[in-house]
Amino acid sequence: MVTTVSTAPKRVPRRIATLSVHTSPLDQPGTGDAGGLNVYVVEVARRLAELGTEVEIFTRAVCRDTPPLAELVPGVLVRSVVAGPFEELDKTELPGQVCQFTLEVLRAEAAAEPGKYDLVHAHYWLSGKVGAIAKERWGVPLVQSMHTLGKVKNSALAVGDAAEPDDRIRGEHEVVAAADRLIANTVEEACQLTELYGADPAKVRTVNPGADLSVFRAGPPDARRAARQRLGFAPDDVVLVFAGRVQPLKGPDVVLKAAARLIDADPELAKSLKVVLVGGPSGRAERADPDRMRELATALGLDDVVRFEPPCPQHELAEWYRAATLVLTPSHSESFGLVALEAQACGTPVVAASVGGLRTVVRDGYSGVLVDGHDPAEWARVIRNLVRAPRRLRALSAGALRHASGFGWSATVDRLATVYTGAMDEAAARVGA
């Protein structure tokens, strides 16, 4: 049986080493490999610091000018570790840098007073490989967040997406076996860890991520109108927003193809339909999916309908959510789905693929609609039924606000702190036995 954490912690560690090998918390989410994981690491670290726990985040340096040590906020330091060339590397190239990264992490700890860290929290399987060694060298527990699972991604590949390699799958199994605690974003992910990777259910804890509810909020009654005015939309426009990395996994092509179907079914809609893709290419420059999406938009006759916007800070992203009629998340797999949660926190209903964590983040028929599959015709049908039903949209908007209100980052960190404490107590008991 998988344990779900719900009780408040009695104490938290003094200092945590957070490992994020493949993407830096200093990067802008929505481009490269920066996404929900980056948001998670930053938001958790900030709130742990507010509780009195110091956090040092180790990440790989990708630029010579990046300082080796930077303060994110008081109590949170980012260590940019030199491992490999000063450039963005594809995830398939990063395993070759793990040994050097591990050496530099161990070297940084060795230069400090003994017992500097009480715990290691690793994010993604590459960081888990580093964390497994640090755990043994430092004699501290390893808490692991996988964020995505190779076997799950391979079971739901989008057209144009490459399968995750066998090295990753083997590495994930090793990390799962080494961790003292495994953090699952949802109950579904917890089951995947135990069923697909043989994780010990006693080590698995389900802790939902959150949204910054002070940033992602509906605002005053005229907030939607004001957001539309600032972003260049008319009050009666039908605005469909996709936000995130523009890559096959996230399904931006489904958004464009559904928009074309909408116009075919209702040519009058072309006068008011606006489709916005907010995000950048995933990975290195040669995989510039936004260029392919522009080509697709042209081929579908949507040049006058579609806007491509770059990744932006959270307060600007909240404006896009507030301006939207609907936010669309047609991902092929999703461990949680922060975009869907943030949109709902702004009072905007979400149409999402019925996959992975989106089934937790979106309450079907209450805060949005879940769609089985990725058939553009079906997506167009669902969207058209919603935009033609203002009363239902208002009900979903109210439901979205209520649903999202239960997913704040403070609750996430309270639950994580309980996991940390339990892992530390268990480790101390082993030493004392």
Q: And the tokens for 102?
A: 């591990």
Whole-number pLDDT of residue 252: 96
Give the predicted TM-score (pTM) of the model.
0.91
Whole-number pLDDT of residue 236: 95
Cα angle value 60/65/68 (rounded, 5°): 50
Strand, helix or coil for residue 129 = helix
Whole-number pLDDT of residue 288: 46
Residue 394, CA distances (Å) to 145, 340, 370, 389 in order? 36, 17, 17, 9
Give the start-end residues of each E strand in 216-272.
238-243
Whole-number pLDDT of residue 429: 87
State the sign of the Cα–Cα–Cα–Cα dihedral 309, 307, 353, 157.
negative
- Residue range 223-404, CATH number: 3.40.50.2000
Whole-number pLDDT of residue 87: 81
Q: Given this chain, do its domains 3-210+409-432 and 223-404 carry the same CATH topology?
A: yes
Whole-number pLDDT of residue 34: 61
**Do residues 214 and 315 lie in contact, with contact meaning Cβ atoms separated by under 8 Å?**
no
Distance CA 158, CA 44 (A): 31
Low-confidence ranges of the chain (pLDDT < 70): 1-12, 28-34, 282-290, 432-433
Distance CA 383, CA 259 (A): 9
> With respect to CATH, is domain 3-210+409-432 assigned 3.30.930.10?
no
Residue ranges per domain, the chain?
3-210+409-432, 223-404
**Do residues 41 and 123 lie in contact, with contact meaning Cβ atoms separated by under 8 Å?**
yes
**Do residues 362 and 370 lie in contact, with contact meaning Cβ atoms separated by under 8 Å?**
yes
Whole-number pLDDT of residue 26: 77
**Do residues 277 and 255 lie in contact, with contact meaning Cβ atoms separated by under 8 Å?**
yes
